[in-house]
Amino acid sequence: MRRNLPVILCILVLISAAAPATAADATVETSTFLSVTSPKQYETIWSDLAPPEVTVAGRAEASNGIRDVVVESSAGAVSCGNATNFACTVPVAEGNETITVTLIDNRGKTSEAVLHVSVNVDIPPPPWISVIGTVRDADGRPVPGATVTFKSALPLASGPHPVTTETAGDGGYLIANAFGYGQTVSVEKDGYLPLHREVVFENTTNQLDLEVEPEPPEGRTVPGFSAGPGVLALLGGLLAIRARGKRG
């Protein structure tokens, strides 16, 4: 019995050492994180494809590692792989659609994110844009009181949708809610030649400085005196002088 005592003690030591480790393993908790950045909840999606598609993007994290990220809609399901940052395209149905994103870790634990979106099968409409800028003359001086007009270059059923404003004392102007990136820009002010430009903007918020030229002196008229009566008066004067010469 005494000979076996060291062996028994060794076995007890091994068992006591292994027991805490087993208990620690049993209490380890797994954690997951799933965030969808696009599309947004209740967003309206435009797709001109048939069948329509939606690109789903986001970030996934799992303490046990990522096995897969699956994106599913009523029209089908796709795997986005096991990368932390994911993005993949899933087919969807037109109308109200539910998209479910599922994170699966290496132990089979899952985490879900559910999105409700509206899908339109059509070309997306152009955005509303805003433009700020300054109207100056050829010498760089601000032109206050000028009328600035933006008209949509799109063939709209309701017309060109003009947006008009007037420059301030420093020549500055602000155009808000102009429809579409393509715009016909006009500037008008007494004493200056009218300005007309076709501009295609790239952003929803833009800056555009404009320059107008003064009207040539010969193009101006004296208030209350138009060009037509002036010409007639001049001809009448010449005829009167000629008639007096003949009489003399």
Segment 1-58, tens digit of pLDDT: 556 655 565 565 556 555 554 444 455 567 999 999 999 999 999 888 888 999 999 9
Place of tokens 């002088």: 241
Q: Does residue 115 lie within any of the structural domains? A: yes
- The mean per-residue pLDDT over the stretch 215-233 comes to 58
Q: Which candidate, 170, 112, 116, places its Cα nearest to that of 145?
A: 170
- The mean per-residue pLDDT over the stretch 126-136 comes to 95
Same domain as 139, residue 69: no
Segment 56-76, tens digit of pLDDT: 999 999 999 999 999 999 999
Domain boundary among 86, 121, 156: 121
Please report the pLDDT score of residue 160 as a whole number.
Answer: 73
Same domain as 133, residue 117: no
Q: Does residue 36 lie within any of the structural domains? A: yes
Give me the percent of the chain exceeding a pLDDT of 70. Answer: 75
**Token pair in block for residue 40:** 């947004």
Q: Which candidate, 146, 148, 132, places its Cα nearest to that of 186?
A: 148
CATH of the domain at 139: 2.60.40.1120
Q: Does residue 66 lie within any of the structural domains? A: yes
Q: Does residue 23 lie within any of the structural domains? A: no
Judge whether residue 234 has pLDDT over 90: no
Place of tokens 């309701």: 158
Half-sphere exposure of 67 (CA within 13 A, CB side): 11
Please report the pLDDT score of residue 15 as a whole number.
Answer: 60
Q: Does residue 240 lie within any of the structural domains? A: no
Domain boundary among 121, 141, 167: 121
Please indicate whether residue 90 or residue 241 has the higher confidence score (pLDDT). 90
CATH of the domain at 108: 2.60.40.10
Q: Which candidate, 226, 220, 145, 219, places its Cα nearest to that of 188?
A: 145
* pTM, rounded to two decimals: 0.53
The domain tally of the chain equals 2
Q: Does residue 228 lie within any of the structural domains? A: no
Segment 184-212, tens digit of pLDDT: 999 999 999 999 999 999 999 999 999 99
Q: Does residue 83 lie within any of the structural domains? A: yes
**Could you list the residue range(s) of the whole structural domain that residue 182 is in?**
128-216
Same domain as 79, residue 105: yes
Please indicate whether residue 212 or residue 157 has the higher confidence score (pLDDT). 212
Q: Does residue 37 lie within any of the structural domains? A: yes
